[in-house]
Structure 1
Amino acid sequence: MIHIANDVFQIPVTPRQLVNTYLIGSTLIDAGIKFSGRTILRQLGNHRLTAHALTHAHPDHQGASAELCKKLGIPFWVGAKDQSAAESGLVVNNMPNPKHPVAIFEQNFMAGPGHPVDRILQEGDMVEDFVVIETPGHSAGHVCFWRERDGVLIAGDVLRNINFFTTMPELSEPPAIFTTSVETNKKSIQKIAALKPQVICFGHGPVIRDAERIQAFAKRI
């Protein structure tokens, strides 16, 4: 695990931080792909989990959710409009083209089984000492987790900080092929940029400690 801020750790589940999960307090944020459970548990070590929350129900974020919730006996928390996907496990159905070969591959080889949702996350809810921010677009129920006192933002896939082809850091919008509404996601980028986050933690790519960079990116799009 990589220490990011007070009670915040990044848990990369693939090389080069291509896919990340996070630990905030005793809550695990996201769960990688369906083969990530062992990696996450190994990196957690003796850290005790009390809950598991998703930024959104896509194959590379809910993959090990059911496994971890069952093994650890912890509740599963998801944004309202992603509840159906999280519970059914059919996590590509709301993508623009669920019949696309890449979407089919992700559903078959990356997504995990569905799991009952114990708590619906909505704007203003608290998870540990982070507030839930609704940021739809990449998925209908996408949420971020924001801690104002030190400017830490768990941004999920509203933005990414990696080029999926080169695996080098590169601040970008999420791929349109996986994004329910590109225009709505642009509005969510503007929303999180307005918070002036000092530490931005991405689902894909390394952490950025530069509020001005996020604001400049938001202006460009």
Structure 2
Amino acid sequence: MEIAKGVYSMGNWKGGRVRAFLLDDGHELTLVDTLFETDARLILDQIKQIGRRLEDLKRIVLTHCHRSHLGGLLTLKRMTGVPIFAHEWEADLVAGNRRPQTPPFRIIRPFRTLPLLAGLALGLDKHPGCPVDNYLQDGEQVGPLVVVRTPGHTPGHLSFFWPERKLMIAGDIVSTWPRLEPGWKGFMLNLPQHRDSVRRMCGFRPEVLAVGHGDPAMGVHEDSLGQLVEAADKWVRKAPQPQSQPVTARTIGSQPRKRQTAHTD
């Protein structure tokens, strides 16, 4: 489904209506997230449907390391050989060298996400590991996108803004399934960080929100953005206890690799 000029949303009912996005800037293709292990065909079919070839795909960019967003990464890497981009903090997770942090399991709305939260807590989200080639920093450009650092859901979570399209690929800091809200509260590792990320993302004033779970929000107005910030702030104010600071790769003995510069051409 084309949600803005040159922006295609892909996905189905699995993983809480998880979505990936194919971007065509008129010259080359960029893929943001890769769905599950068995979903490579959805992405290949979308490339074919828009009259492009697999060789036109130049990079794969990741919002964060959860299986529903990168399960198909290794398959696509083997098929295309394109470079993989992610935040440095997520790199060893993407490679399969460390398991993601998991939030405590709580009975919390939206209730339809509880099976997904249970699977995450039980470690059922393991994905085929794939090395990250390039680390992304806030404000960099990768393809047509500007990198927006948005931690809280995970420490290395990224969103991506396409200024010419007024489109924000929000990842999991906003969801529309089962309803529009600032993500799924029970999946947030750090609510204050998440609140700040929602506020920062909304400061870009996107008119299209391409979310990680659910259909895109189209024709977004400032009132809607303000409501997202207000809801995220309310979560923080009602939190039962202070949020712990997330560990870093260094505190658990992992040695991040030297950062490489993102390619923009």
TM-score (norm 2): 0.72
In structure 2, the residue matched to 1:203 is 212
Query: 1:55 aligned to 2:63?
Result: yes
State the distance in 1 between where 2:62 and 2:2 align. 20
Query: 1:150 aligned to 2:158?
Result: no
Letter in 2 for 1:103: L
Deviation of 1:7 after TM superposition, in Å, equals 2.1
In structure 1, the residue matched to 2:120 is 103
Count of residue correspondences: 210
Deviation of 1:120 after TM superposition, in Å, equals 0.4
Task: For residues 151-170 of structure 1, give each alpha carbon's deviation from its aligned partner in whole angstroms, at most 9, with x where no partner exists.
Answer: 1111110110111xxxxxx1
Contact 1:194-1:215 within 8 A present in 2 as well: no
Greater displacement, 13-22 / 141-150: 13-22
Unaligned runs of 5+ in 1: 164-169
Q: What is the 5 A alignment of 1:1-221?
A: 2-14=1-13, 18-25=17-24, 26-45=29-48, 46-47=52-53, 48-88=56-96, 90-91=98-99, 93-97=100-104, 101-103=118-120, 107-108=123-124, 110-163=125-178, 170-208=179-217, 209-212=219-222, 213-220=224-231, 221=233
- Cα distance change on mapping 1:219 and 1:175 into 2, 3 Å: closer
State the distance in 1 between where 2:46 and 2:165 align. 25
Contact 1:66-1:112 within 8 A present in 2 as well: no
Instruction: Show structure 1 runs of 4+ deviating over 3 A.
Output: 13-17
Letter in 2 for 1:96: P
Contact 2:182-2:229 within 8 A present in 1 as well: no
Unaligned runs of 5+ in 2: 106-116, 234-265
Contact 1:135-1:141 within 8 A present in 2 as well: yes
State the distance in 2 between where 1:65 and 1:219 align. 35
State the distance in 2 between where 1:148 and 1:13 align. 27
- Cα distance change on mapping 1:15 and 1:82 into 2, 3 Å: closer
SS at match of 1:94: coil
Greater displacement, 15-24 / 68-77: 15-24
Greater displacement, 35-44 / 75-84: 35-44
Give identity over the alignment, percent.
Answer: 26
Deviation of 1:215 after TM superposition, in Å, equals 2.3
- Cα distance change on mapping 1:27 and 1:13 into 2, 3 Å: farther
Return the index of the structure with the highest Cα Rg: 2
RMSD: 2.2
Contact 1:29-1:55 within 8 A present in 2 as well: yes
State the distance in 2 between where 1:97 and 1:127 align. 34
- Cα distance change on mapping 1:101 and 1:9 into 2, 3 Å: closer
Contact 1:53-1:77 within 8 A present in 2 as well: yes
Deviation of 1:97 after TM superposition, in Å, equals 4.1
Greater displacement, 62-71 / 178-187: 178-187
State the distance in 2 between where 1:127 and 1:113 align. 24
Deviation of 1:17 after TM superposition, in Å, equals 8.1
Deviation of 1:13 after TM superposition, in Å, equals 3.8
TM-score (norm 1): 0.86
Looking at secondary structure, tell me which structure has more strand per residue: 1
